[in-house]
Structure 1
Amino acid sequence: MIDSVSRVGGAEQGLVAMAPQLVRSGVKLDVAYLKDSPGGFQPELTGAGADVFGVGRATRGRTLAALRGLVRERRPDLVHTTLYESDVLGRAAALSARTPVVSSLVNSAYGPEHLNARGLSPWKVRAAQTVDAVTAQGTRRFHALTRHVAGAMAQRLRVPRERIDVVPRGRDPELLGTVTPERRAAVRAALGLPQDAPVVLAAARQQYQKGLDVLLEAWPAVLRAEPGAVLLLAGSAGTETARLTALAEAAGGVRFLGPRGDVFDLMAASDAFAVPSRWEGLGSAAMEAMGVGVPLVCADVPALRETVGSEDYARLVPAEQPAALAAALVDTVQDRASARVRAKSARARFLTSFTLHQVSAQMVGFYERSLRLRTI
């Protein structure tokens, strides 16, 4: 069960990437989603061998009833919920149907950074935490994307850390491809970019969490050092769009690309990939950039450091510090030899930790343990 199967979210992309591997591993996969997702991943999920059900209704009560009915009809061995609405309603539906339920913890939530985030009401955050924590008590086991998320959410949901397994997301290295001169030249030509221009890419939803405003505040300093540099921003609009547009107009040298299906190609055409997030659960875009082999510049927040590893693999800078971010980007595009060494090491790390085959096998193991073990 997942909130949606739209093409813009990391959880949704992770599901559609893993679905074929799960089915090939012998998992009979049903996917239930709560929100209408026109143009979403339904065809890919069906093509992978999953049965897909849209169960969203006009109210939460009706959606809960639809979920409960689906569980009773399909009679799964295990219900796996992902994202807040599906966690809360899916746990309730599964437990009422006497079906074991597990949940994914894909982000650290309910911390100080969320209470202070623009556009979030502190009391609503605490109310959501209370509901999440109450429904979590009946959950058999949890899957977290990183050790950081596991530790933070064990405390915030009041569940034993021992009930949380850590399995990252994975990607198919064949699908990602690698950086080659031919790929770089073709993508730049299609975008109308000079072949020798320093290009920085960020790919993220335009939300406060992603820190794109920090990147745009850093960009004028990058342009002073590299006047021909171009910043590409790929991703869907969000609550920060108006602010980001204003910052981009003031800075110059910025192109908004909107949602893209060719982000891996964009990575291969870039000199640096920026991940300026205020917090992350894993940092899927950073992990993908590691797989492609593009030099990384990341905010030094716990989950990103855990994913990236260390400064042997990426430039890590303090979060929400535009001057430090600008300096790291300038260093990356100017000292290309060192940047290539880090990118090569990062790709090797990706191949040992984040391939889709490895991660899918770990998830099947998580399901098998969850069926064997009762709540600790």
Structure 2
Amino acid sequence: MRVVYVIDSVSRVGGAEQGLVAMAPLLVRSGVELHVAFLKESPGGFQEELRAAGAGVLPVLRGSRSARVAGLRDEFRRLRPELVHTTLYESDVLGRAAALSVRVPVVSSLVNAAYGPEHLHARGLHPWKVRAAQGVDALTAQGVRRFHALTEHVADVMAARLRVPRRRIDVVPRGRDVELLGSVTPERRAAVRGRLGLAEDVPVVLAAARQQYQKGLDVLVSAWPRVRAARPDAVLLLAGSRGAETARLEELAGRTSGVRFLGPRDDVFDLMAAAEVFAVPSRWEGLGSAAMEAMGVGVPLVCADVPALRETAGSEECALLVPPERPEELAAALLRALDGRGEALVRAKAARARFLGRFTLPQVSARMVEFYERALA
């Protein structure tokens, strides 16, 4: 089948982009003729990886939204796909409009539980803009043949918020390559710590996320003084690109010690293998790709007890779950993971087993092909 996948960008930052490029080779090998259209400039992005996977790469970079709809429509007429698949808000709205105008069936991914109270009160977001975006999303969603959600939570919430029947939403998580993730070994740990200038016995907590309000990194940095009071040698590593929360994070980090900003990294899986704990303090998630990756690597996980992260981790047998936006409780959980290494490693082993049973690329890619076939049936 021929599928045009429309996504906002092919940058290396977001989970949707990473999930697409990870799955692309397996989709192509399974018989999908895949073309990826993107709407924003993506210098240094995943273009070459997508081409190497056998996918077509279609930049649709015209200035206005109406011009991008026209550009997508032209590509759909040229390629005559059997299915258009849209992901992320801009691509959902524009891709649906273009596909429906040329009578091509369209499916959409639901990657976050959007438009809730947490978004209405988020720093930097205006409630009326959130409601306006929801209205446009819900309107264009009526023409979508089927939806793909990353978790049951996202499916349940977004069915109500977009006013679409729940039966039209299939749940398929993201997946990762087991070989690419690797696992925790003494050699890998020592090599990474050597590059970072960290001694073998230094307790390391790692977080890897964009510096945005959703990711709750401010909660983690606010918790850090309590961790340092109990473990003065502990180090907090923050990997990820700058964003709207960067200035606040730098201000909070200036009030404590042992916080290092690593910036964007292409070795996050290695960093995980060198850490005692991986922290995911998000205020909300659609799946929690970083948590899922940490489960695959086998590093002990401490994360916010929000619905999607609980669904990904499964239970407290696999991760310590802490109520969101509670720095004191987050600090206590981090110290429990640092001090109780035996208990933490038992949880990490259970989490890796869960990853291998649910989140490997072959499993997820096969389910995505089944989703496409269901949409065309």
Q: Scaled by the length of structure 1, what TM-score is found?
A: 0.99
Q: Say whether 1:37 aligns with 2:30.
A: no
Q: Which residue of 1 aligns with 2:133?
A: 128
Counterpart in 1 of 2:3?
none
1: distance between equivalents of 2:318 and 2:63?
47
Residue in 2 that maps onto 1:65? 70
Distance 2:63 2:191 in 1: 46
Note the 1:49-128 alignment, pairs <5 A. 49-128=54-133
Quote how far apart the aligned CAs of 1:324 are. 0.3
Aligned with 2:350 (options 345, 353, 368): 345
Alignment-derived partner of residue 184 in structure 2:
179
Does residue 1:281 correspond to 2:286, yes or no?
A: yes
1:180, distance to aligned residue in structure 2 (A): 0.4
What is the deviation of 1:252? 1.1
Deviations 1:148-170 (A, max 9, x none): 00000000000000000000000
Deviation at 1:251, TM superposition (A): 1.4
Letter in 2 for 1:334: D
Question: How far apart are residue 249 of structure 1 and its match?
Answer: 1.2
- 3-state SS of 1:250 partner: coil
* Residue segments in structure 1 that go unaligned for 5+ positions in a row: none
Structure 1 match to 2:321: 316
In structure 2, the partner of 1:209 is: 214
Superposition CA RMSD, Å: 0.3
Instruction: Find the aligned partners of 1:63 and 1:28 in 2 and give their Cα distance.
Output: 23
CA distance in 2 between counterparts of 1:351 and 1:336 reads 22
> Is residue 248 of structure 2 the alignment partner of residue 243 of structure 1?
yes
CA drift at 1:194: 1.2
Q: Deviations over 1:83-128 (max 9, x none)?
A: 0000000000000010000000000000000000000000000000
Structure 2 unmatched ranges of 5 or more: 1-5
Q: Which amino acid aligns with 2:284?
A: W
Query: Any idea what SS the aligned residue of 1:139 has?
Result: coil
Matches for 1:218-229 after TM superposition, within 5 Å: 218-229=223-234
What SS does structure 2 have at the residue aligned with 1:298?
strand
Secondary structure at 1:127 match in 2: helix
- Secondary structure, aligned partner of 1:79: strand
Whole-Å Cα distance in 2 between the matches of residues 154 and 335 of structure 1? 41
Paired residue secondary structure (2:255): helix
Matched, 1:153 2:158: yes
Counterpart CA distance in 1 for 2:199 and 2:237 is 13
Task: Specify the code of the residue in structure 2 equivalent to 1:204.
Answer: A
2:370 to 365, 368, 376: 365
Separation of aligned partners in 1, 2:366 and 2:257: 46
Residue identity matched to 1:198:
P
SS of the equivalent of 2:9 reads coil
User: CA–CA distance in 1 between the matches of 2:42 and 2:290?
Assistant: 22
Per-residue CA deviation, residues 25-50 of structure 1 (Å, 9 max, x unaligned), is 00000000000000000000000000
Task: Report the counterpart of residue 268 of structure 2 in structure 1.
Answer: 263
For residues 42-85 of structure 1, the C-alpha deviation after alignment (integer angstroms, 9 at most, x for no partner) is 00000000000100211001011000111111100000000000
Which amino acid is 1:45 matched to?
Answer: L
Tell me which residue corresponds to 2:171.
Answer: 166
Count of matched residue pairs = 372
The alignment partner of 2:315 has SS state of: coil
1:187 partner amino acid? V
Equivalent residue of 1:29, what SS? strand
- The aligned residue for residue 231 of structure 1 is 236
Question: What CA distance in whole angstroms lies between the structure 1 residues aligned with 2:187 and 2:345?
Answer: 17
Among 293, 309, 320, the residue aligned to 2:298: 293
The one-letter amino acid of 2:159's match is A
Other-structure match for 1:194: 199
User: What TM-score do the two structures reach when normalised by structure 2?
Assistant: 0.98
* Partner SS, residue 251 of structure 1: coil
Question: Aligned partners of 1:331 and 1:169: how far apart in 2?
Answer: 29
- 1:139 matched residue in structure 2: 144
CA distance in 2, matches of 1:225, 1:13: 37
Distance 2:48 2:38 in 1: 14
Equivalent position amino acid for 1:278 in 2: R
1:46: which partner in 2?
Answer: 51
Letter in 2 for 1:130: G
Match for 2:340: what amino acid? Answer: D
